[in-house]
Amino acid sequence: MTVKTKTKSSESDSSKRMLLYREALNEALKEEMKRDSTVFLMGEGIAERGGSYKVTVDLLKEFGPERVIDTPIAEASFVGAGVGAAITGMRPVVEILFIDFTLLTLDQVINQAAKYNFMTGGIGKVPLVLRTQGGVGNGLAAQHSQSLEAIFYHIPGLRVVMPSSPYDAKGLLKTAIRADDPVVFIEHKLLYMNEGHVPQDDYTIDFGKADIKRTGSDVTLVAWSNMVPKSLAAAEKLAQQGIDVEVVDPRTLNPLDKKTILDSVRKTEHVVIVQEAIRRGGIASDIASIIQQQAFDYLDAPIEIVAGINTPIPFNLNLEKLSVPQVNDIIEAVKRVL
Give the residue numbers annotated as catalytic, written as ranges.
Answer: 75, 144
Q: Which neighbouring-strand residues pair with 159? A: 183
CA distances to 166, 205, 284 from 191, rounded to whole Å, are 9, 19, 21
H or E stretch at 176: helix 166-178
Residue type, 131: R
DSSP 11-29: S--S---EEEHHHHHHHHH
- Distance between CA 269 and CA 217 in Å, rounded? 9
Say whether 199 sits in a helix, a strand or coil. coil
Tell me the DSSP string of 38-58.
Answer: TEEEEETT-SSS--TTSSSTT
The DSSP annotation for 288-332 comes to HHHHHHHHGGG-SSPPEEEEE-SSPPPSSHHHHHHHS--HHHHHH
Question: Which backbone phi and psi does 164 adopt, to 5 degrees?
Answer: -110, -10
Distance CA 274, CA 88 (A): 40
* d(C-alpha 141, C-alpha 137), whole Å: 9
DSSP letters spanning 248-303:
EE-SEEES--HHHHHHHHHHHS-EEEEEEEESTT-HHHHHHHHHHHHHGGG-SSPP
How far is CA 48 from each of CA 30, 186, 213, rounded to the nearest angstrom?
Answer: 16, 23, 37
Q: At 231, give phi and psi (nearest 5°).
A: -70, -40
Spacing of C-alpha 299 from chain mean position: 28
